[in-house]
Amino acid sequence: MSNRHLPKPRSQRALATATTGLVALSLAVGSAAAQDTVKIGAPLALTGGLADEGKKQALVYDMWEKKVNDAGGIEIGGKMYPVEIIEYDYQTDGPRAGQLAERLITEDEVNVLMAPFGSGHTKIAATVGQRYRIPTLACVASSESVYSQGNPYLFGTLSPNANMTAAMVEYLKENVDGLSKVAVYGRDDVFPKSMAAATAAAAEAGGLEVVYNELYPVGTMDHAAAISSIVAAEPDWVYATGYTQDLILIRRQLADLGVKAPVITMVTGPAYVEFTEGLGELANGVTSQTWWHHSVAYEGEGAWKTTKAFYDDFLAASGGEDPDYVHGSCAGALVVLEDALKRAGSLDGEAIRQALADTDITTFYGPINFGENGMNQARELPIIQVQDEAIEVLYPASIATAELELLSE
Amino acid sequence: MDFAQILANGVVLGALYACLAVGFSLVWGVLNVINMLHGSFIILGGYLTYFAWQMFGIHPLIMLPIVAAFLFVVGYALQAIFINKVVTAPVLVTLTLTFGLDMILYNLMTVYFSATPRQVTLGLGSIQLFGVYLPVVRLLGMALALLLTGLLYVTLRGSRIGRAIVAVRMDRSAAALMGIRVNRIYAITFGIGALMAGAAGALFAMVFPITTNLSGVFLGKAFVVCVIGGLGSVPGALVGGLALGIIESFSGVLLGPQHALTVGFLVMLLLLIVRPTGLVGVKGYE
Amino acid sequence: MSDYLRLENVSKTFGGIRAVNDVSFALKQGEIVGLIGPNGAGKTTLVNVITGVHPASLGRVIFQGEEVTRQKPFQAARRGLARTFQIVQPFPEMTVLDNVAAGALFGGSPEGLAEAREHAHRHLAFVGLDPIADQPAASLTLPNRKRLELAKSLAMNPKVLMLDEVNAGLNTGEIDTALDLIRRISERGITILLIEHLMKVVMSVSQRLLVLHHGALIAEGEPQKVVNDQHVVEAYLGEKFAKRLKEMGHA
Amino acid sequence: MRAAKVLLFVAWIAVLAATPFFADNNIVRTAIMLAMYSVLAYSWNFIGGFTGYPSFATAAFFGLGCYAGAIVEHAGVPMALAWIAATVFVALFAAVLGAIVLRLRGHYFAIGSIAIVEVCRLVVSSWSSLTGGGNGLNVPLLMWHPNTVAMFFLYVMLGLLAIVFAITVFVDNHRLGFGLKCIRQNEDAADMVGVNTTRYKVIAFVLSAFLCGTAGAVYASWVGYIDPTDSFQILLTVKVPVMTLLGGAGTVLGPAIGTAAFVVLEEFFWANFLSWNRAILGLIIVFLIFFLPGGLLNTSFRRVVRRLRGRESAGASA
């Protein structure tokens, strides 16, 4: 059952008492009842720029909630607790995300927050959580700058970008003869920017020459100038990061302006089905990295014991669409929470935080072990490629479904 | 870096900018209204073109006149019903009103079309001329943009309605005395502005991924193009569009893409202060 | 008596058009001088040059021995160079009283708002508008707007008052009232430059006339002399008609 | 009349200030946002209301305040000093900029002021070494008890609101306000009666800016994280004038009433019409322009206020 709460009574009263301000508003705040459910707060971008991503989160949240409650709930300190995920739409608006985090904690009295989609919005929500000593689980923030603020209440299931990029550089060096020059081009926004920086650093560390390394600001409509510069630099590998709409355009303009690089990597591009749909044949050959792919096979704790179990459930819930890493990571985060609650044995924020910090388990999503800064330390993240308009896994070898195909004339 | 390639990039992009801005410029020049809806009109045109292509396989070039006609009706109606009531009010009022209307249109589009980027993929590739790459879709877009802009110019110059629009633009009260029904001309002008936006949207669906999030970007470009080129005149939009395309192209290569947008806006601010009539503008609007 | 306000070889060009061409003249303290000329002769432009709205392209404007060619309009106002507009320029949403108070507060000697309103009442009484002091300015009839404009200028404690077509659009009775007001203002020692295109109106009050045609000063002197000047007649009636008139006069 | 307005305003501040004692922190947060928006609306009122210049630069001042405060605080300067530094910086910025852009009028000024927001956003986001660029910037967090933090920031914002209100009352009854009203109604005529229009406009522009800067810096300290997109929002820059217009531009109580009405409406629609809230805000704007062109203060609300006041103090005269 979906549980998208609409705080009607409070707000209607607010309207009725516009002139006397907030007096009556406060009367609506009920006193805390003795708690017999685990409450999880989730500000989601259900409208606005990140709506598509927000809806993905909502989908797996609902799946998990149903799955756990059908099994009778979670056993905490010898008692079975049903779970309730309380979701609000923050409209892809930073200040709203903060406001909602505060409302979830103070009015809905949630025990844990699930961070919203964007890295920036994750920071805002986690900051509120930290004030109230409520743990925040982030399933779609991978930039280390989000975790570098010494917030002991923030945990993330994605592993640091650097883990990804170093593996990518190694893989390409092994599989592409004569790889020497790389061009890096990224959107000036938290996640793409840190991926671009990490890739440039990893490439240099790996002995590659970075021949182009630039960012484009939010609001860029066209990439011809940058791509002409990239063409002139004659790279063997073009690495671009940004939102799907940017990457579709960049891929197209790379082709239009005659880029000859044998490898084009786009992050997160191919990890989303919209990318391949938007580009058609042009998507073929584009490589990417992702934190999770449904062809991995892990066994572990929680609502879904195996990747297969999650995948099957997901297909049923989504009407046949494949899950991407957002789905995997967010479901994985809830599975970790499930485990941590059992170990914490209480609903106290501090106890849950400690249990999360001590986590060292394997889930359907993969191994999870939060490091010093709260980020998952997993390695061996999948490298994928679009072949024949479908996603193939190239790495790690244990789950590879295809060999790297080079883009060449 | 190849100078010819940078220039070609700028000119092709500039023609698209001109097409994007010309309707906005016309409305501003004739009605003295800053139409905040313009960006969303373009997006609407783009979406309609995309869905016609995706669902019924209708070619964007066939959709273009249909979308343009549809948006003319939308624009005409919005002007006749809403904007006309405050058309003589200060800019704060008209701007805020069109912003409010834009919020409604934007919301409708996000609900019915979602924020997923959509693009018509024709896969035409590019041609190479003296070592300069020219994407065919963009060349087509540029040709159409110039054609549309030219058509508008000819219409304004040659037709009865066009002459009436120009008369209203020059002197509203004199035009009224001459028996021109000013309100009708306003609605037609606003309709033509929307029509040009719709046509630009149909073009853009072939060139750019269309998403509602881009409406603000398109609107911003229209501002800059109008101020650089000069208001209310078709040649102004053309010059402004080409100038912006070339400025962005060169600054993107020389200063890096991070600063290309900033340079465009700075040129605009500078021109606002030094020469508010724009590069080819005429005096007369405040 | 020395020159109070003096223009030396003043020219003003807009684009390629010379609206005022090499004009020199002087006003003495307390006199009433008429500035006449056909429509488009450059009369209003000249006032704009003096008050700093469109500073002179060439030449100098000297007021009380100080060069003020480049002054801003508000500085002109504070120096005592006040003007009324051909097309009246009230603050439409303010009351009649506050319109005049604005003149007193900013153009006159610095004082508080309350004091400015007191002064305003005095000036309104002088022009006969005090009974409607609390009405919004937008609601006034044309003659009353002209009077308001006058009261506003007076509130600025002007030394030189430039009245740009204060009589335009008024009927004969209203013109007489206006001319009476102008004489009374002059009696306070305020220099008045009366801009008109109807010669008849200025003849009765002006001590001297200046005639502007196509931006140039074509005649200056006693009213009676000036109106019989060949150039002036030509300027007003056109060369042919003037010639015929002259022949008729000789006949 | 004036005393009654001040009394009403003081009562409103008192209601907001009392929220921590009877409401939870979510309500207090709304009260903080309300106070903050009121500061922005009162600030805008100087240039947009009194002077009649259609400024859409509020988001630039707010965003620069956010960044100036955050950068200075980041450098180890105590919070309160960082706020003052941000205020001074934004005031100077507005003074320099005002001298240039206030030469424009009408549509050109409107477009110019929007461009300022966009240029600020782009410069801040590309100057990564100083601002963190798209990564945003973290501000040292006050780790007091959440209730204390909420109360603290509420009182700071209310303090700013009291300051901006005091300036508004002063300006309204002073030659400055009188001159600004003259400029709004007829700038050429104002010039002719001796108003130094350039200076007055720049003063109004600075007044419309500097407390936005302070509010931005306080906001940054409060939320602990800022980024270019949220700090320089075009939506914010339009919302603030709409709030003021809703209450009544150029009036002393208008901004407070408009902001309160807007925030309550926004919260209500946002909570009840999940995916349609933007359209509904659009409808509010359309409604406002057609049915309340003078704002709440100049329509039925005036009667309500008069009635309320009559009951409270029978002696007060209108």
Please state the rounded mean pLDDT for residues A286-301. 86
Q: How confident is the model at residue A28 (pLDDT cuts 50, 70, 90)?
A: very low
| Domain span holding position D49 | 2-312
Kindly state whether residues A64 and A153 are assigned to the same domain: yes
> Are A280 and B123 an interchain contact pair (Cβ–Cβ within 8 Å)?
yes
Residues on chain A touching B128 (C-beta within 8 angstroms): 258
Closest CA relative to residue C223, chosen from C242, C208, C240, C243: C208
Asked if chain D contacts chain C via 3 or more Cβ pairs within 8 Å, the reply is yes
Please tell me which of A143-157, B272-286, C127-141, D158-172 the model is most confident about, judged by mean pLDDT: D158-172
Test the D interface: residue of C86, C91, C100 with most D CBs within 10 Å: C91
Does any CB of chain D come closer than 8 Å to the CB of residue A33?
A: no
Q: Let me know whether A126 and A61 are in one domain.
A: yes
Asked if D19 is an interface residue toward chain A (Cβ–Cβ < 8 A), one would say yes
Find chain A residues with C-beta within 8 A of B18's C-beta. none
Predicted confidence band at A4 (pLDDT cuts at 50, 70, 90)?
A: very low
- Inform me whether the pLDDT recorded for D316 exceeds 60: no
Establish if D14 belongs to a structural domain: yes
What average pLDDT does the segment A323-332 reach?
89
Mutate: best of A187, A223, A228, partner B, most B CBs <10 A = A228
Residue D113 near residue D128, CB atoms below 8 Å: no
D305, closest residue in chain A (CA to CA): A19
Residue B66 has a pLDDT of 95
Q: Which chains touch B (3 or more CB pairs under 8 A)?
A: A, D
Task: Kindly give, in sequence order, each residue whose CB lies less than 8 Å from that of residue A43, ignoring residues fewer than 6 positions away.
Answer: A87, A88, A89, A90, A96, A97, A100, A101, A104, A113, A116, A121, A125
pLDDT recorded at residue C110: 62
Among chain D residues, the shortest Cα distance to B97 is held by: D286
**Out of D260, D274, D278, whose CB is closest to A6?**
D274
Q: Is residue C85 part of a domain?
A: no
Separation between Cα atoms, residue B268 and residue C207, nearest integer Å: 54
> Is D289 an 8 Å CB contact of chain C?
no
What would the DSSP string read from start to end of A67-112? HHHHTT-EEETTEEE-EEEEEEE-TT-HHHHHHHHHHHHHTS--SE
Highest mean pLDDT among A6-10, C219-223, D142-146, D244-248: D244-248
Main-chain dihedrals φ then ψ at residue C159, nearest 5 degrees: -100, -40
Q: Which of C83, C94, C112 sits opposite D192 (nearest CB)?
A: C83
Chains within contact range of chain D (3+ C-beta pairs < 8 Å): A, B, C
Q: Is the pLDDT of residue D299 over 80?
A: no
C161 has pLDDT over 70: yes
Residues C128 and C183 placed together within one structural domain of the fold = no
| % pLDDT > 70, chain D | 93
User: How many structural domains comprise chain C?
Assistant: 2
Q: Quote the mean pLDDT of chain A.
A: 84
Taking CA–CA distances from B259, the nearest residue in chain D reads D126
Comparing C-alpha atoms, which of A234, A238, A263 is closest to residue A406? A263
D100, part of any domain: yes
Residue C244 lies in a domain: yes
Residues in C touching D248 (Cβ below 8 Å): none
Structure token pair of residue D156: 């700071």
- Residues A324-339: what's their mean pLDDT? 90
| pLDDT of A7 over the 70 cut | no
pLDDT tens per residue, range D91-150: 999 999 998 888 888 888 888 898 899 899 989 988 888 888 777 888 877 778 888 888
How far, in Å, CA of A325 to CA of A314, rounded?
13
Q: Kindly state whether residues A116 and A191 are assigned to the same domain.
A: no
Which two structure tokens, joined as six digits, stand for A278? Answer: 């938007």
pLDDT of A299 reads 86
Exposure of A106 in the CB half-sphere (CA atoms within 13 A): 24
Which of D134, D268, D274 is nearest residue A11 as measured by Cβ atoms?
D268
Give the pTM. Answer: 0.85
Q: Which domain holds residue A255?
A: 161-290+381-399
Is the domain of C36 the same as that of C128?
Answer: no
Cα D63 from Cα D234, distance rounded (Å): 11
Residues B84-137 have pLDDT tens digits of 888 888 888 888 899 899 999 998 988 888 777 788 877 777 788 777 888 888
Please determine, for residue C45, whether its predicted confidence score (pLDDT) is greater than 80.
yes
DSSP A218-264: TT----HHHHHHHHHH--SEEEEES-HHHHHHHHHHHHHTT---SEE
Domain count of the fold of chain D? 1
Are residues A40 and A107 both part of a single domain? yes
Q: Is D185 within 8 Å of C93 when comparing Cβ atoms?
A: yes
Judged by a CB distance cut-off of 8 A, whether residue B104 touches chain D is yes
Same domain, A308 and A285: no
Do A221 and B214 lie within an 8 Å CB cutoff?
Answer: yes
CATH number of the domain where residue A342 is located:
3.40.50.2300
Assess whether A173 and A271 both reside in one domain.
yes
User: Strand, coil or helix: what is A380?
Assistant: coil
Shared domain check, A392 and A254: yes
CB C171 within 8 A of CB C137: no
pLDDT confidence of residue A66? 92
Edge to edge, the sheet with strand C17-28 lists C17-28, C3-14, C58-63, C66-67
Residue D212 falls inside a structural domain: yes
B250 in Cβ contact with B6 (< 8 Å) = yes
Residue B184 has pLDDT above 50, yes or no: yes
**Rounded mean pLDDT, A128-156:** 86
pLDDT confidence of residue D78: 92
Q: Which residue has the higher pLDDT, B10 or A92?
A: B10
In chain B, % of residues over pLDDT 70: 96
| Class of domain B3-274 (CATH, top level) | mainly alpha
> What is the predicted pLDDT for the residue at B107?
87
Q: Are there at least 3 beta-carbon pairs closer than 8 Å between C and A?
A: no
Domain coverage including residue C235: 3-80+163-250
Q: pLDDT tens digit string along D190-228? A: 888 888 899 999 999 999 999 999 999 999 999 888 888
For residues A344 and D166, give the distance between their C-alpha atoms in angstroms, rounded to a whole number: 54
Residues A125 and A272 both lie in one domain: no
Least CB-CB distance to D146: which of A26, A47, A132? A132
Distance from the Cα of A18 to chain D's closest Cα (Å) equals 7
Question: Nearest CA of chain C to the CA of D248: how many Å?
Answer: 15
Q: Name the pLDDT band for C144 (thresholds 50, 70, 90).
A: confident
* Cα–Cα distance measured from residue C192 to residue C110, given in angstroms and rounded to the nearest whole number: 24
Check A6 against D138: CB less than 8 A apart: no
- To the nearest whole Å, the CA of D160 is away from the closest chain C CA by 28
Give residue D313's pLDDT: 43
Residue pair B219/B41 in contact (Cβ under 8 Å)? The answer is no
The pLDDT value given to residue B280: 67
From C1's Cα to the closest Cα of chain D, the distance in A is 28
Q: How far is D47 from chain A (nearest CA, A)?
A: 26
DSSP B130: T
Residue from the list B32, B93, B111 with its beta carbon closest to the beta carbon of D289: B93
Residues A261 and A166 in one domain: yes
Helix pair B38-56, B215-229: axis angle to 10 deg: 130
Query: What mean pLDDT comes out for the span B50-74?
Result: 92
Give chain D's mean pLDDT. Answer: 86
Query: Would you call B13 and A216 a contact, using CB atoms and an 8 Å cutoff?
Result: no
Closest chain D C-alpha to A97 CA, distance in angstroms:
11
pLDDT in tens, D222-240: 988 888 888 888 888 888 9
Specify the pLDDT at position D248: 87
How many structural domains comprise chain A?
2
pLDDT band at D274 (very low <50, low <70, confident <90, very high): low
Judged by CB atoms within 8 Å, which residues 122-161 of D form the interface with A? 122, 125-126, 128, 132-136, 138, 141, 143, 146, 149
Secondary-structure breakdown of chain C: helix, strand, coil percentages, each rounded to the nearest 5: 45, 25, 30
Q: Which of C11, C4, C14 is nearest to C60 (CA)?
A: C11
CATH code for the domain in which residue C228 is found? 3.40.50.300
Nearest to C91 among D175, D189, D197 (CB): D189
Say which residue, D86 or D143, is predicted with more confidence.
Answer: D86
Judged by CB atoms closer than 8 Å, whether chains meet at B95 and D54 is answered as: yes
In this structure, are A54 and A125 located in the same domain? Answer: yes
Mean pLDDT, residues B151-155: 85
Cβ pair B286:D106 closer than 8 A: yes
Least confident of A343-357, A382-396, C1-15, D20-34: C1-15
pLDDT higher than threshold 90 for residue A258:
no
Q: Stretch D275-293: mean pLDDT, rounded?
A: 83
For C50-64, the pLDDT digits (tens) are: 888 888 888 888 888
CB contact under 8 A, B96 and D289: yes
Across A32-41, A163-172, A272-281, D151-160, least confident range: A32-41
Domain boundaries, chain B: 3-274
**pLDDT tier at A111, thresholds 50, 70, 90:** very high
DSSP 8-state assignment for residue C131: G
pLDDT at D69: 94
**pLDDT, mean of residues A210-228:** 89
Q: Please tell me the distance from the alpha carbon of residue A351 to that of residue A361, in angstroms, as a whole number.
A: 18
The pLDDT value recorded for residue C245 is: 63
Q: Which B residues, 230 through 269, put their C-beta within 8 Å of a C-beta on chain D?
A: 258-259, 261-262, 265-266, 268-269
CA distance B253 to chain D (A): 16
Beta bridge partners of C62: C6, C67
